[in-house]
Structure 1
Amino acid sequence: MSTRDLLIDPCWQGHDLGQPLPDSTHAVSVALPRWSDVIAYEENDPACRNQLRAVYPRFGFHPLVAELALKALRHVNAPADSKAWPYPTGAAAKAAREHCLRCQPNAQASIEVVNGLHCLITDSTASPSAKAFWQHAGLGASSRQAAIALGHEASPAQSAGDQARGRIQERLAAIYGCPQGQISLHPSGMAALHSALNLVSALHPGRPTLQVGFPYVDVLKLPQVVFAGAELLTDSSPEAVAASLDRLNPAAVVVELPSNPLLQCVDLITVAELAHQRGIPVIADDTIGSGLNIDALPFSDLVFSSLTKSFAGRGDVLAGTLVVSPSSPWRGTFCTGSSVAPSGLGDADAICLEEASRDVHARIPRLNAHCSALVARLRRHPAVKQVLHPDRCPTFQALMRSGAGHGCLLSFELHGGTPKAQRVYDALAVSKGPSLGTHFTLCCPYVLLAHYEELDWAASCGVPSHLLRVSVGLEDPDQLWQRFERALAA
């Protein structure tokens, strides 16, 4: 898969800018090794952007997807200001087109089949809406699908894809302790949320959703931009939640377990009780916590997760899952509806995911332990102001499975604010870029990457821009700590 072993040879220095993480054609992360690289990336500096050999797939076009999009534009002889957006199915492309025309009724948006993929062709009026849908809904063609369409890779047999999807569902059913028929697979975690929002929108048409707790940006943006709206409630007290439920009467309540990057959980048990008393379903995101560590199904009606992260662990495949709770009063309706999502997980991606996740039961406990070891050491270091980790979250503790851990993610803040964070980040000898859950450690100034245009708002929510987020990998814990010690001395 990779010619560079990121456990011992991480992408952390200036000359590593733009390297794919991992060293794979289908990497979903990219090296931004210096603080200045992160700023340049956010400022769309061509000197930075032109060096990127990979990108998180929803935030931009993978080079192979970009190649196919260009081919689609040439195929239809589109005007110079047009854009092409490749999708794996006609249903996904149609959903994107419908969103564009809802936002801009007079725009031009058509669908053309190019090399077996369905390409939405948009004019300059429709393209901003098409870009938003691409990012938030997570339904776009994967790099493997683009590679096959371009003839760069062979297409696997559908039977092999079916077998892989079946094994993944079996694996997830064992993790979640529910029937396999209540688990659906999707091309990304956000696509799984898109499916969940379709289900609750059919149940309660025209209603917005209510998100409780500091949000991952796209979990909030997807219902806001593509569906009937969403309201964010950062005060998760029972009184505030009850008042918001009564006032908004939402289609669903959305929670993240735990939140990103604060790594705290709202009181899911109380929130679920308040919502269910009012006939409102609960959607939970357990991507960071992991279904191996926590069990949200007794209190949630729908649980979605990005399988790209800890489940796969390699960082070179995009996928998601949606699990219908066996105890949900809407179980029958949701199970039926989840089978008609705009797009499922493609054959090539399913085969890769099945192979990558074979060691998930052994790997995630190791990631848990390595992260906890680093947390303990960081908390004792005089340069560290605070460490954020779910081990001190009562709700996370209440949801934990027997013998489980707290996940692979931590965030920490340094005394000295941004200047100190810059020095430590630049000196830290681990791979640096977005995403999490990889077998190699990843660090990033998460707030800059996720909330660059709203840093003051994030700070008002108690999330400082100089916070460093770390996804801890499988490196030897003592050797990893030596790298952190050297950086903290910077």
Structure 2
Amino acid sequence: MTERNLLLDPYWEARDTGKAIPQSPHAVSVALPLWRDVIAYEENDPACMATLQSIYPRFGLNPIVAQIANRALSKSEQSQNTCWPYPNLPTAKKARQYCKSVTPNAHITIKEESGLFCLIVDEHTTPTAKAFWQHTGLGASSRQAAIALNQEKSPLASDGERARELIRNRLAHIYGCESSLIHIHPSGMAALTTALEALNRLSFNKASFQVGFPYVDVLKLPEKIFNGSELSLTKDPCKLEIELDQKRPSALIVELPSNPMLQCVDLPLISKLAHQRGIPVIADDTIGSPVNIDALPYADLIFSSLTKSFAGRGDILAGSLVISPHSKWKQLFQETIPNSLLAELSDSDSIALEKASKDVHLRINELNNSCLVLKRNLEDHPDVKRVFHPEHCSNFKSLMRPKAGFGCLLSLELFGGLAKTKRFYNSLKVCKGPSLGTNFTLACPYVLLAHYQELKWAEECGVPSNLLRISVGLEKPSELWERFKTALNT
């Protein structure tokens, strides 16, 4: 079968509902081309769920991973059990430990199946097991499952290690640090899991503190899996100082920029306030990209989802954790993080990521430029109420590298409210589904996908539910604008 060219022929209409984006067994996105599809997906409508050929890997089981789970479940005595495959025994034990901490009397077993380790839980424990799977990002990958099922060949371990070495060197060149300070993980959230685990081992075992509107799992991971998390939306440094003095958190977590509002905190100031109090700073630079911004002088640890613009393909789940060479805790982190790492990126995923990221500089420069062109065209259209983009943020600009750009992401709000937004979304001729940073443009009603059960809270935080998030791809900017203009005029 010829692979569909998503730059020219995107999944955008009703007949595409549920298709894997891209056309790969390892796709991390799924087509939700109509507004009603997004609602049906969030409400777990059986008809909608039955169409899904893929799912974002942390939000559910990729179909290949599900085959492993079903194999293990077929040997289980309880028909209501659910199964969560992990790459090794330590990760499965960590998941069991968490489930037991929430539900001490839960019935939980770990069964090895085709070389993977399956956490099998009763129906009452399923929500807890799912939360651990989603927030930590430690689950078995689709490539690991495909190898376990003999659907794909297992690469040589030496080839996997060589690929990880090349990735670390590539990232070291981007960040401007030694490759020994970089660790490669199965996902961006797995990288944050390792960072928080390391802090616990160093006795920073208190609640963390997030500044700025959070990506849902960056807040939920420390809140639910570790020692708790609190959120501050204040932009007043005096108020932030008071909060830090009162809370004395284990770490201060920031996103550069925030998702989906694309605003950046004053990182140099926040870092100064935190370090004066002996508090490490953890930054997520996924959206900004280390190609564009340099946070290492201020953040002690930086985690990133390499799934996004670093890979670009949309079919590799991976993450990185970088220790800042400037951190006062550098040596402690170097000693502790390797012992906190529950799983590294698999050989097959590493090889795929190394190949995909060879052109990362060229691609991200193109994405930067294309996003900026679309942003300026949207700002000039009378139906567009607001465009959110890092170009409007002085704090982001202060972190930018020479000749860098603003990333591939923008968000927009339309005049005409929900009715206009639905019409625009339904008629927009680009791929529509979760994730970002892909080589093809990808749109979604992000707030519905990330905060469907807490829309009122998001509104109170200044994030409107009818916001649309656009990850701009490598289409010709003029052709992409024509698609947006046509949908706006619908």
Match of 1:216 in 2: 215
Q: Secondary structure at the match of 1:385?
A: strand
1:2 CA displacement:
6.9
CA distance in 2, matches of 1:152, 1:228: 40
Task: Provide Cα deviations, 1:203-249, integer angstroms capped at 9, x if missing partner.
Answer: 23430000000000000000000000000111132112111111111
Match of 1:175 in 2: 174
Match of 1:416 in 2: 416
Match of 2:52 in 1: 52
Task: Provide Cα deviations, 1:399-456, integer angstroms capped at 9, x if missing partner.
Answer: 0001100000000000011111000000100000000000000000000100001111
Conservation of the 8 A alpha-carbon contact between 1:2 and 1:24: no
Match of 1:428 in 2: 428
Match of 1:155 in 2: 154
Letter matched to residue 474 of structure 2 = L
CA distance in 2, matches of 1:78, 1:289: 48
Please state if 1:368 is matched with 2:377. Answer: no
Task: Provide Cα deviations, 1:166-214, integer angstroms capped at 9, x if missing partner.
Answer: 0000000000000000000000000000011112222234300000000
CA distance in 2, matches of 1:31, 1:237: 41
Please state if 1:270 is matched with 2:269. Answer: yes
Conservation of the 8 A alpha-carbon contact between 2:283 and 2:301: yes
Conservation of the 8 A alpha-carbon contact between 1:364 and 1:407: yes
Conservation of the 8 A alpha-carbon contact between 1:262 and 1:388: yes
Which range is displaced more, 108-117 or 132-141? 108-117
Match of 1:81 in 2: 80
CA distance in 1, matches of 2:209, 2:428: 38
Counterparts of 1:235-246 in structure 2, within 5 Å, are 235-246=234-245
Q: Secondary structure at the match of 1:419?
A: helix
CA distance in 1, matches of 2:281, 2:19: 39
Match of 1:248 in 2: 247
CA distance in 1, matches of 2:200, 2:251: 9
Q: Secondary structure at the match of 2:325?
A: coil
Conservation of the 8 A alpha-carbon contact between 2:201 and 2:336: no
Runs (4+) off by over 4 Å: none
CA distance in 2, matches of 1:66, 1:314: 22
Conservation of the 8 A alpha-carbon contact between 2:297 and 2:326: yes
Given the two structures, how large is their TM-score scaled by the length of structure 1?
0.99
CA distance in 2, matches of 1:389, 1:205: 35
Conservation of the 8 A alpha-carbon contact between 1:371 and 1:409: yes
Which range is displaced more, 102-111 or 369-378? 102-111
Match of 2:110 in 1: 111
Task: Provide Cα deviations, 1:318-355, integer angstroms capped at 9, x if missing partner.
Answer: 00000000000110111222213110000000000000
Match of 1:93 in 2: 92
Match of 2:449 in 1: 449
CA distance in 1, matches of 2:238, 2:123: 46
CA distance in 2, matches of 1:427, 1:240: 45
Conservation of the 8 A alpha-carbon contact between 1:203 and 1:251: no
Q: Secondary structure at the match of 1:50?
A: helix
Given the two structures, how large is their TM-score scaled by the length of structure 2?
0.99
Match of 2:224 in 1: 225
Which range is displaced more, 237-246 or 480-489? 237-246
CA distance in 2, matches of 1:445, 1:354: 31
Conservation of the 8 A alpha-carbon contact between 1:2 and 1:22: no
Distance 1:2 1:166, change over 3 A: farther
Match of 1:261 in 2: 260
Conservation of the 8 A alpha-carbon contact between 1:27 and 1:317: yes
Percent sequence identity is 58
Match of 1:31 in 2: 31
Match of 1:305 in 2: 304
Unaligned regions of 5+ residues in structure 1, if any?
A: none
Conservation of the 8 A alpha-carbon contact between 1:2 and 1:23: no
Conservation of the 8 A alpha-carbon contact between 2:87 and 2:140: yes
Q: Secondary structure at the match of 2:120?
A: strand
Counterparts of 1:306-345 in structure 2, within 5 Å, are 306-340=305-339, 341-345=341-345
Q: Secondary structure at the match of 1:111?
A: strand
1:74 CA displacement:
2.0
Conservation of the 8 A alpha-carbon contact between 2:199 and 2:205: no
Distance 1:90 1:411, change over 3 A: same
Match of 2:477 in 1: 477
Conservation of the 8 A alpha-carbon contact between 2:409 and 2:471: yes
- The total of aligned residue pairs comes to 489
Match of 1:196 in 2: 195
Match of 2:390 in 1: 390
1:141 CA displacement:
0.2
Letter matched to residue 45 of structure 1 = D
CA distance in 2, matches of 1:225, 1:78: 30
Match of 2:279 in 1: 280
Please state if 1:62 is matched with 2:50. Answer: no
Match of 2:205 in 1: 206
CA distance in 1, matches of 2:199, 2:269: 20
Q: Secondary structure at the match of 1:118?
A: strand
Conservation of the 8 A alpha-carbon contact between 1:427 and 1:487: yes
RMSD: 1.0
1:299 CA displacement:
0.3
CA distance in 2, matches of 1:475, 1:99: 44
Task: Provide Cα deviations, 1:277-316, integer angstroms capped at 9, x if missing partner.
Answer: 0000000000000000000110000000000000000000
Q: Secondary structure at the match of 1:327?
A: coil
Task: Provide Cα deviations, 1:444-478, integer angstroms capped at 9, x if missing partner.
Answer: 00001000011111111111011110000000000
Conservation of the 8 A alpha-carbon contact between 2:187 and 2:307: yes
